[in-house]
């Protein structure tokens, strides 16, 4: 069975008004769709677009031109697994299926790449995928699956982040306690 893949552009802004205005202009000018467009902590704005590589490249160039000094970073990432794109857009399972793996980074685009590596490496699902919302500037994802799959996925994702100098922390919980899971699942806000 072939995995569904897509392409995304990550646009991170230092100013919320600029982020909203540039996102509006990019959407009107290029054949792209919004996966996520939201404020970030503290006082930043993030837009993740989906589309063909050429349209995403055009979007990034336009964002750089219009956004100027307010554009913090932009990156096109091709060949992203549909599970990752869904997770960015808050479509996650939210249900534990065995072990948990948590991976945290400061750099949004690198965390997205590492999440793609995780799901390409092993059969895991996302419980949460948070891009600098509700947790300061840090971003993280939580995956779930069989222990061996979670271990391999976290190992590969973390190795990638370490090579990029973007690794903060990772942890694997082999058999999470019911009480921990109850509180974890209730704290999975989309703030």
Task: Report pLDDT digits (tens) over 133-186.
Answer: 655 568 899 999 999 999 999 999 999 999 999 999 999 999 888 788 777 765
For residue 16, what are its two tokens? Answer: 């919320």
CA distance 114 to 51: 20
CA distance 59 to 171: 36
Task: Check which CATH number belongs to the domain holding 62 and give it.
Answer: 3.30.70.1710
User: What's the pLDDT tens digit per position in 34-54?
Assistant: 999 988 877 889 999 999 999
Predicted confidence at residue 128, as pLDDT, reads: 86
Give the ranges where the chain is alpha helix by DSSP (H).
16-29, 53-67, 82-88, 108-121, 147-164, 178-186
Is the domain of 107 the same as that of 155? yes
Give the pTM.
0.84
Is the domain of 47 the same as that of 97? no
Secondary structure (3-state) at 69: helix
Query: Is 96 inside any structural domain?
Result: yes
How many separate domains does the chain show? 2
Query: Is 181 inside any structural domain?
Result: yes
Predicted confidence at residue 135, as pLDDT, reads: 54
What strands lie across the sheet with 99-105, from one edge to the other?
125-131, 139-145, 99-105, 167-173
- Residue 189 φ/ψ, nearest 5 degrees: -80, 160
49 forms beta bridges with 9, 34
Is the domain of 25 the same as that of 65? yes
Residue 177: which residues within 8 A CB-CB, separation 6 or more? none
Predicted confidence at residue 134, as pLDDT, reads: 57
| pLDDT interval class at 121 (50, 70, 90) | very high
Write out the residue range of the structural domain in which residue 97 sits.
92-186
Predicted confidence at residue 169, as pLDDT, reads: 96
Neighbours of 27 (CB within 10 A): 16
Q: Is the distance from CB of 56 to CB of 76 less than 8 angstroms?
A: yes
Domain end (from 52, 82, 112): 82
Secondary structure (3-state) at 158: helix
Predicted confidence at residue 3, as pLDDT, reads: 65
Residue 149: which residues within 8 A CB-CB, separation 6 or more? 99, 122, 123, 124
| pLDDT interval class at 1 (50, 70, 90) | very low
User: What's the pLDDT tens digit per position in 61-116?
Assistant: 999 999 999 998 889 999 999 999 999 888 887 677 889 999 999 888 899 999 99
- From 117, 102, 87, 97, select the one nearest 190 (Cα to Cα): 87
Predicted confidence at residue 44, as pLDDT, reads: 86
Is the domain of 108 the same as that of 178? yes
> Does residue 9 have a pLDDT over 80?
yes
| pLDDT interval class at 5 (50, 70, 90) | confident
Predicted confidence at residue 186, as pLDDT, reads: 53
For residue 165, what are its two tokens? Answer: 């100098």
Domain end (from 56, 82, 108): 82
């Amino acid at each position: 069975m072939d995995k569904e893949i897509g392409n995304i552009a990550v646009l991170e802004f230092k100013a919320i008004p600029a982020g909203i205005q540039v996102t509006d202009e990019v959407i009107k000018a290029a054949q792209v769709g919004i996966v996520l467009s939201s404020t970030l902590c503290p006082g930043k704005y993030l837009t993740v677009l989906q589309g063909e590589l050429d349209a995403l490249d055009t979007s990034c160039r336009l964002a750089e031109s219009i956004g100027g000094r307010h554009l913090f970073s932009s990156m096109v990432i091709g060949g992203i697994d549909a599970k990752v794109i869904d997770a960015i857009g808050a479509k996650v399972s939210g249900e534990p299926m065995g072990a948990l793996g948590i991976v945290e980074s400061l750099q949004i685009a690198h965390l997205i790449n590492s999440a793609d590596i995780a799901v390409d490496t092993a059969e895991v699902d996302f419980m949460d995928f948070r891009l600098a919302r509700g947790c300061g500037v840090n971003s993280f994802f939580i995956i779930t699956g069989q222990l061996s799959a979670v271990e391999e996925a976290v190992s590969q994702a973390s190795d990638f982040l370490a090579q990029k100098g973007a690794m903060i922390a990772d942890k694997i919980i082999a058999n999470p306690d019911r009480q921990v899971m109850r509180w974890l699942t209730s704290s999975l806000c989309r703030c």
